């Protein structure tokens, strides 16, 4: 069977964001497994207008669902903003529909309490988009996994949790492919 394609979606777009560091680490760990094609998908690259505010012809707006169509599953890199996900990620989720359906997802979150509140909000949204989010999710603390709140230095214990999460994404991603 063709290996699954899994997009590692960076949820933040602000200047100075930490999500590329977290996403790159997740990709590095995931690539070691050799069980799927993992790629970073940076929402910022698509320059998505707020839903309904653009012309509808923006290249990024057309490219976004195309990119999602090419993927069998997702790992969301989620940061906590005011106890929820970023506006940019919510807009990106809203900016496609069928392309999300019947796919698996894992969540990696960070924040002062590991980003858990944002991750739980995301789960509610994913249900509506028919994305099957798996149970295991690594949660990184701003206090202990980022040096000076800036440089990502994850504690070793997170590697096992990440691999459990990826095992589940690959298993469900393969199963759900049969529905599409």
Ligand X SMILES: Cc1cc2nc3c(=O)[nH]c(=O)nc-3n(C[C@H](O)[C@H](O)[C@H](O)COP(=O)(O)O)c2cc1C
Binding residues for ligand X (CB under 6 A): 12, 14, 17-19, 79-83, 111-113
28 vs 160, beta carbon nearer ligand X: 28
Give the C-alpha separation, 119 to 121, whole Å.
Answer: 5
Angle between helices 87-94 and 116-128 (to 10 degrees): 10
Q: How far is the CB of 52 from ligand X (least distance, A)?
A: 23
Q: How far is the CB of 92 from ligand X (least distance, A)?
A: 14
17 vs 161, beta carbon nearer ligand X: 17
Tokens encoding 165: 């999460």
Cα 83–89–167 angle (5° rounding)?
Answer: 90
Residue 129, CA distances (Å) to 81, 108, 124, 132 in order:
21, 19, 9, 9
Q: How far is the CB of 158 from ligand X (least distance, A)?
A: 16
17 vs 47, beta carbon nearer ligand X: 17
Q: How far is the CB of 117 from ligand X (least distance, A)?
A: 7
């Amino acid at each position: 069977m063709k290996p699954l394609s899994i997009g590692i979606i960076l949820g933040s777009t602000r200047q100075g964001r930490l999500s590329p560091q977290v996403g790159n680490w997740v990709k590095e760990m995931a690539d070691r497994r050799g069980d799927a094609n993992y790629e970073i998908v940076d929402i910022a690259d698509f320059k998505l207008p707020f839903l309904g505010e653009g012309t509808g012809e923006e290249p990024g707006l057309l490219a976004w669902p195309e990119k999602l169509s090419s993927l069998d599953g997702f790992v969301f890199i989620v940061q906590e903003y005011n106890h929820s996900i970023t506006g940019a990620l919510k807009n990106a989720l809203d900016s496609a529909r069928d392309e999300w359906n019947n796919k698996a997802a894992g969540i990696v979150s960070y924040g002062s309490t590991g980003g858990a509140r944002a991750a739980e909000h995301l789960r509610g949204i994913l249900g509506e988009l028919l994305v099957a989010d798996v149970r295991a999710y690594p949660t990184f603390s701003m206090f202990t996994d980022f040096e000076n709140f800036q440089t990502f230095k994850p504690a070793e214990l997170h590697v096992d949790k990440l691999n459990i999460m990826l095992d589940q994404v690959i298993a469900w991603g393969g199963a759900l492919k049969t529905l599409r």
